Structures are given as C-alpha cells and as structure tokens.
A and B are shown apart, each in its own frame.
Chain A
C-alpha cells in the first residue's frame, strides 16, 4: 500500500525531555489509524508534527512524497488543503462572534479554494447531519455534539484527503460520542478520507480504526491491526492500557 501521508524518523525534544523518539508512521488513502498511549507518551506531539504545526528535531513529514515544513500560510497552503484537523474541545474552537456558516467557510477563504462557498457550506452542514440554515446561527446556539459536527464540517470544507484529530470525541457524552464516531466512520468510507486519530479512549479506537500505534515514552512499542493488537497485546504497555479500561460487561450481559 503506498503511503499518502508519511512520517519518517520523527524526533522532538523539549529541553532535556525527548517527547518523540524516532517515530515513523504512514497512512494510506482511506485508512484509519489510531495513536494510543499514556499521558506524556508523545501522542499530541506526533499529531502536531503530522499537521506541520511544529518542527521536528529530526525526521520528515511528507504528503505524496513531497516534504512539508511549518512555514508561512502561502508555503503550507498546498498541504493544508489536503490535511485538516478536528480540535479536541468544541467549546473553544469557534469564534463566538462569527456565524457558523462563516466559520465553516473560513478554510475555503484562507486556503483560496475556488467555487461557490455558501453552496459548499450548505452541503457540508447536511453531510454532518445539521440543517443547512444552521449557517446563519451563532456557535453558542449549538450543543457540544453539534459544535463538534460543525468542527468536522469545517475540516472537510476544502475536501482534504487526511484528517488528523487529537481526542476528537473525548469532550462528548457517550451517546453523542457514538454518533460523532459513526459520522467520522461514514464520512471516511464515503469520501475515501484517511483518518489519524489520537485517543485515550480505546473503545473509540476499536470502533473507528483499522490499525493502531502504541506509543510509550516517545517510542512506538507496538503497532498492527486493531483486532490483533487488542486481542493479543505483545507489549506490556498495551496490555496495561487495555486492562485499565473499566467495563460494563461484568454487570450487564
């Protein structure tokens, strides 16, 4: 499988701390990959490097073989049109004084995407399960789950090939969390969108992703298909993460 987004040998140090140590990851078109690990294992650092929001001390990130470095809006425009992100907290990722239609259209404007922006916004709002007239409303008029749908609509606006999402559903209640996870799965299947999801919620990972990467102290300690890794974890860190998840199974059968 040829890689769409490919990171090789990524290392990132903060002072004396090596947050990420020689990590390589590749993502093929339409593939859904999860990054899991304990707090401080380097998950969010990896997401930031893959989004070209931070410069690695060593290693490269490339899209279709073309390397990307953080830089001016102009120099990264080609990359941002194709690689988008869904932020963690839907409560804080919208300008409270910008109507949601304008917020969803913003990437189209700043990435100089041609075409009818308001038609595209209406289409996106429908795609994420909202009414097209939601565009005229303000962020505070929406619930957390609806705002996360809006964040997904905004990320999809420039028709990206890859979504990198750091804990995209951890701020949501379980019922809404399942709806948003299913929306991401359905959009990925329908549009051939590749997903890289950082999450500490292993249930979400299992529901959404094909492949999983386990990070510990900045290194990849295990990776493979989700079923295999979760079914027979080869590394103690993976086993520890899985064992720690509380379950309802003992109570409800």
Chain B
C-alpha cells in the first residue's frame, strides 16, 4: 500500500527528516509517535506531497506503486482522496468557514461527476455515519470542536480512501470527545478497511488504535515494531515512565 525508502526532508543546512524507511500494508493500523520537533508532521507532509516550498524532499515514497516524491498535480490527482486522505490536527482551520458542511462533504463527489442529488444524499449518509445526522445545512462555526473534527473525518472518508492519515486528530479535544472520535477512526480503519497512519504524541492514544508503532526522534526512525515491543524498549523508557506517572489510577 505504502512503501517509503530513505525519505529525507532538508531545510537549508538542517535535516528535518533523515532517511526514513518503512512499509505499510493494506488495512494496517500504524502509529507515529515522538516528541515535539521529532519530524512527525514533516513525515506526513512528505508522504502526501504537502511539504512546504523551500524544503527539499529526497528518497522514495510509493503509494500503491506510484512514485510520489517530486510528483506534480497530475500524478497526485487520481491518488488524493481515493488512495490517501488526511485528517488534520485543527478542526477549526481544516474546513471552509463559508460553506455548509453538507456541501463541503459533497464537493469531492461532485468533482468526480456524481450528480447533485446523489452527492447530497451520500454526504448526508456519511455525516450520519460519523454521528452527525441532520447537520448538513450547518456552517462549521455552528458546530463544536469535536463535531468539526467529525466533519473533517467525513470529508476524508468521502472518497473511500485506502489509507487514512490522521495528524494529531484529537489533541485539540476533551477526553470524552476524543474517545468518540477515536472510536470512529477505529471503526473505519483496520483489516479489510482503510489502512491508518496515526500521528500523535500521546502513547496511550496510539496504543488504543494501532498494532504497530513507529518512533521518530530528531528526524530519524529509531523504532518500528509491534506496540508492546516498542513500549518496552529502553529508547522510549522516559516517555513511557512520564505517561505512566501522569496516567489516571482509579
């Protein structure tokens, strides 16, 4: 599904991502963890062709066999939304504030030639699926943060992508709202469904959804393995210890 080899991102005189290699199988649920500045968001950007201008991406990323490093819009057009889709961190800035959410979710379908009524019907069904029935006529500002993140998820799912990339999808949300969004992500990804690449700094969130973890540190991939093995590795001992110290005991 996804094959990454020696992927690097360079700023002038500074390497932000350093020769990262890994593969992701169809339906696999993989977490990407690491502290601030470890390169998590740079990895997501490089994988999806969203690296900021001025940064240099080298190495190889193959999405279902198509090389996308250095690829232009013509290569990305058939992949975006269908092979890959992104749920960004901040639900407040991911949506168009001036467009009703039903229309936003329907737009990718319209762009693909689906008729107006059919697109609207499918958008309504998808909004109901993410737990927001009857909200199609609302504007993003009329929804809470958790509801907006559900809309962003509906928008990512509308093209039935085979890989869902979620960059800190719940870090702006309260625990109960977070739990709802995580349940939803878990429901739509996994074996037989879309693959998941979940970026988070919260080990507990990663452990809740993923079977495999990638650990980034200072731009390098330092660990890659099953969740339990990675959490038991001395390299992440300080993070695990701090997470456990700040865990709720009842």
Contacts and interface: CB of A to CB of B under 8 A. Distances in A.
B228 A252 contact: yes
A178 B207 contact: no
Interface stretch (B77-85, B123-131, B173-181): B173-181
B102 interface: no
A250 interface: yes
Contacts, number: 92
B150 to A, nearest CB: 14
A148 B246 CA distance: 18
A203 B243 CA distance: 9
Contacts of B239: 174-175
Contact of A207 (B177, B208, B246): B246
A248 interface: yes
Contact of B178 (A230, A242, A244, A247): A244
Q: How many B residues are at the interface, by size bracket?
A: 35 or more
Interface residues of A, number: 32
B250 interface: yes
Contacts of B244: 248, 252
B250 A39 contact: no
A175 B242 contact: yes
A162 B250 CA distance: 28
Among A144, A177, A202, A203, which residue has the most Cβ atoms of chain B within 10 A? A203
A5 B157 CA distance: 50
A24 B217 CA distance: 46
Interface in B210-245: 227-228, 231-232, 238-240, 242-245
A65 interface: no
Contacts of B246: 174, 177-178, 181, 201, 203-204, 207
B178 A174 contact: no
B35 A175 contact: yes
B243 A241 contact: no
A138 B225 CA distance: 41
Contacts of A200: 174-175
Interface in A196-218: 200-204, 206-207
B36 interface: yes
B182 interface: yes
B205 interface: yes
A177 B36 CA distance: 12
B144 interface: yes
B184 interface: no
B226 to A, nearest CB: 10
B227 A40 contact: no
B202 interface: yes
A240 B174 CA distance: 11
A170 B101 CA distance: 29
A249 to B, nearest CB: 7
Contacts of A231: 250
A144 B37 CA distance: 11
B238 A242 contact: no
B250 A242 contact: yes
B248 interface: yes
Interface in A20-39: 38-39
B207 A240 contact: no
A249 B247 contact: yes
Contact of A251 (B207, B242, B245): B207
A67 B219 CA distance: 53
A245 B240 CA distance: 16
Contacts of A201: 246
Among B176, B178, B246, which residue has the most Cβ atoms of chain A within 10 A? B246
Contacts of B202: 174, 246
Contact of B182 (A144, A230, A246, A249): A246
A144 B247 CA distance: 22
Contact of B176 (A181, A241, A251): A241
Interface string A217-245: 00000000000001100000000111111
B188 to A, nearest CB: 18
A158 B146 CA distance: 39
A204 B248 CA distance: 8
Contacts of B36: 144, 173
Among A173, A243, A250, which residue has the most Cβ atoms of chain B within 10 A? A173
Given A173-B35, A251-B207, 15 more contacts: A144-B36, A174-B201, A174-B243, A175-B35, A202-B175, A230-B248, A230-B249, A242-B250, A246-B182, A246-B205, A247-B204, A247-B248, A248-B203, A248-B240, A248-B243
